[in-house]
Structure 1
Amino acid sequence: MRVAINGMGRIGRLLSRRLLNEGGIELVAVNDIMEPENLAYLLKYDSVYGTLPYRVGYADDHLSVGDKKIAVFRQEDPRELPWAALDIDIVLECSGRFTKGDAAAIHLSAGARKVLLSTTGSPDVPLLIYGFNQHVLNADTAIVSPGGCMTNCSTHILYLLNQIGIESVQANILHSYTSRQELVDAPHKQYRRGRAAAESIIPVEIDLAGSLERLLPALKDKIATVSTRVPVANGAMADFTVQLKTATPASEINALFFNAARQEYKGILDYTEEDLVSLDIKGDTHSCVVDGTLTSVVGRQVKLIAWFDNEYGYTSRMIDWLYYWKKFL
């Protein structure tokens, strides 16, 4: 499979690093408007995941990473990208700019066979969560949204709890700060996002509830969500308060997730009873790790806590998608 990445931000660069060691997938090209020398530097040195153990450089319009060479382009308009000439199977659209169906389809016009977004796209783009409804994919599907890191965490948890029966959900995703926030106070259309990210606990608006209702229509109008950004560079903790239809002991709820982690959701969802903190989840490949030590029940109300690495876990699902989609090419 021949792959290209458009947009070399946090997700694009982490995917680039990880694809270096994936068999059967060749990273052929990347596109980003930043200076290529800066790109090479940021690819080698990462403040969260450390330094790549390879020589990384740039020359003759190519990145060299160890013994691999990757073509580099700096086109703002994907129409100008030579995906046809490079025989690109899938473009990983990681810029955050082309999330609507017609915009993402520009990559198809440029010659790519398929496009995988790195976020939740517009309603006209199929929203398929790996491990939940990837089987809906067919050979004619050309553009897929794999959701976001919070959607991938939440979908499996709510689906399993709804086997008991959910009346309502309040979810607060405590999440590391992101590039959509500011380092120092600055203007922003969402005032709180403009406050210094490393200095405050900052609640921000998110569209998670809408995504979950698309995936779990039985829960429409039963979900409310918020994300609280905290001053760490990586890691997230999802805090679910769920009103169930039937009073259920914490032990039964934990058993539900323990069994799912070892059966139908193995590799996607995990379960732990270790005393974790957010740093311990760095580099974890699961979409969520349910923390059984923090499950509590009052009447029919359940408090459930799950950890996830918002970058590494999410890119793990994108890589799963590449292998899954390969059989349709």
Structure 2
Amino acid sequence: KGDKSIPQFVYGVNHHEYDGEDVVSNASCTTNSITPVAKVLHEEFGIASGQLTTVHAYTGSQNLVDGPKAKTRRGRAAAENIVPTSTGAAQAATKVLPELEGKLDGMAIRVPVPNGSITEFVADLEADATEDDVNAAFREAAEGELEGVLGVTDEEVVSSDILGQPYSTYVDLQSTNVVGGLTKVLTWYDNEFGFSNRMLDVADYITEN
């Protein structure tokens, strides 16, 4: 680690802020999944606060058989357990969307699938919004500013159905739920393929700029 922090760019959210830096980060797959969703919600309704939980495929940071690990739970057999653990995505999201600084937190639950993840985002919105209002905002973004980055689906999909989807985030519209001032959104992502597509998009943008 150097003396300066590495800027994180999420394509479709803040990639346009690239200013000739030699070393940049494409952020994480989970940060790429949550920031387009948070961007839409904040711009349309305002986010007072939010909590995210990513239900994430197991990764190389876990053990395949029980063993010692600095993070004890990650030392348990990845393909046999549901593993609550930390995620840096909420804090990273506030670096990408600084207007949300101090408003977000979250955690991860690693599950025994090799690929395919989903983020649950629960937000206290500043403006009143119905489920239809929220879904309409996502549909508009998917067809406009965030086309190719944020997708939406009305289908009753499961994790294996979204493998190979090129989006950073794929909002499950049937699962949008509003209770009082709280709004819950579920959004899928292929944590390998979707992220890789955005890395190529960021690289292409940097090459051209």
For the superposition of Structure 1 and Structure 2, which TM-score range results when normalised by the shorter chain?
A: over 0.9
Q: Counterpart amino acid of 1:251?
A: D
User: Is residue 2:34 matched to residue 1:157?
Assistant: no
**CA-CA distance at 1:190 after TM superposition:** 0.6
- 1:94 corresponds in structure 2 to none
In structure 1, list runs of 5 or more residues that go unmatched.
Answer: 1-99, 103-122
- 1:326 corresponds in structure 2 to 207
- 2:178 corresponds in structure 1 to 297
Equivalent pair of 1:171/1:240 in contact (CA under 8 Å): yes
Number of residues of Structure 1 aligned to a counterpart in Structure 2: 208
Quote the Cα distance in structure 2 between the aligned partners of 1:272 and 1:230.
23
Equivalent pair of 1:101/1:143 in contact (CA under 8 Å): no
Equivalent pair of 2:89/2:106 in contact (CA under 8 Å): yes
User: Is residue 2:67 matched to residue 1:186?
Assistant: yes
What's the CA shift string for 1:163-203, capped at 9, x where partnerless?
20111111000000001100111001111000111111101
Task: Identify, as 1 or 2, the structure richer in helix.
Answer: 2
Quote the Cα distance in structure 2 between the aligned partners of 1:220 and 1:325.
26
After TM superposition, list the pairs within 5 Å mapping 1:125-144 onto structure 2.
125-138=6-19, 140-144=20-24
In structure 2, list runs of 5 or more residues that go unmatched.
Answer: none
What's the CA shift string for 1:20-52, capped at 9, x where partnerless?
xxxxxxxxxxxxxxxxxxxxxxxxxxxxxxxxx
Quote the Cα distance in structure 1 between the aligned partners of 2:72 and 2:29.
23
User: Is residue 2:142 matched to residue 1:255?
Assistant: no
Equivalent pair of 1:281/1:308 in contact (CA under 8 Å): yes
- Which one of 49, 57, 61 corresponds to residue 176 of structure 1? 57
Equivalent pair of 2:166/2:194 in contact (CA under 8 Å): yes
**CA-CA distance at 1:322 after TM superposition:** 2.2
Quote the Cα distance in structure 1 between the aligned partners of 2:200 and 2:96.
21
Runs of 4+ more than 3 Å apart: none
Change in Cα spacing, 1:326 to 1:220, as seen in structure 2 (3 Å) is closer
Quote the Cα distance in structure 2 between the aligned partners of 1:227 and 1:212.
14
- Which one of 16, 28, 52 corresponds to residue 148 of structure 1? 28
Q: Counterpart amino acid of 1:145?
A: S
- 2:107 corresponds in structure 1 to 226
**CA-CA distance at 1:134 after TM superposition:** 1.3
**CA-CA distance at 1:101 after TM superposition:** 4.5
Task: Report the TM-score, using the length of structure 2 for normalisation.
Answer: 0.96
Q: Counterpart amino acid of 2:116?
A: G
Equivalent pair of 1:174/1:228 in contact (CA under 8 Å): yes
**CA-CA distance at 1:212 after TM superposition:** 1.3
**CA-CA distance at 1:324 after TM superposition:** 1.4
Equivalent pair of 2:91/2:105 in contact (CA under 8 Å): no
Alpha carbon RMSD of aligned pairs, Å?
A: 1.2
- Which one of 221, 227, 241 corresponds to residue 122 of structure 2? 241
After TM superposition, list the pairs within 5 Å mapping 1:306-325 onto structure 2.
306-325=187-206
Quote the Cα distance in structure 1 between the aligned partners of 2:6 and 2:54.
24
Quote the Cα distance in structure 2 between the aligned partners of 1:276 and 1:325.
35
Quote the Cα distance in structure 2 between the aligned partners of 1:265 and 1:220.
22
Task: Describe the SS at the equivalent of 2:80.
Answer: coil
Q: Counterpart amino acid of 1:146?
A: N
Q: Counterpart amino acid of 2:66?
A: D
User: Is residue 2:85 matched to residue 1:204?
Assistant: yes
Quote the Cα distance in structure 2 between the aligned partners of 1:300 and 1:216.
22
**CA-CA distance at 1:217 after TM superposition:** 2.1
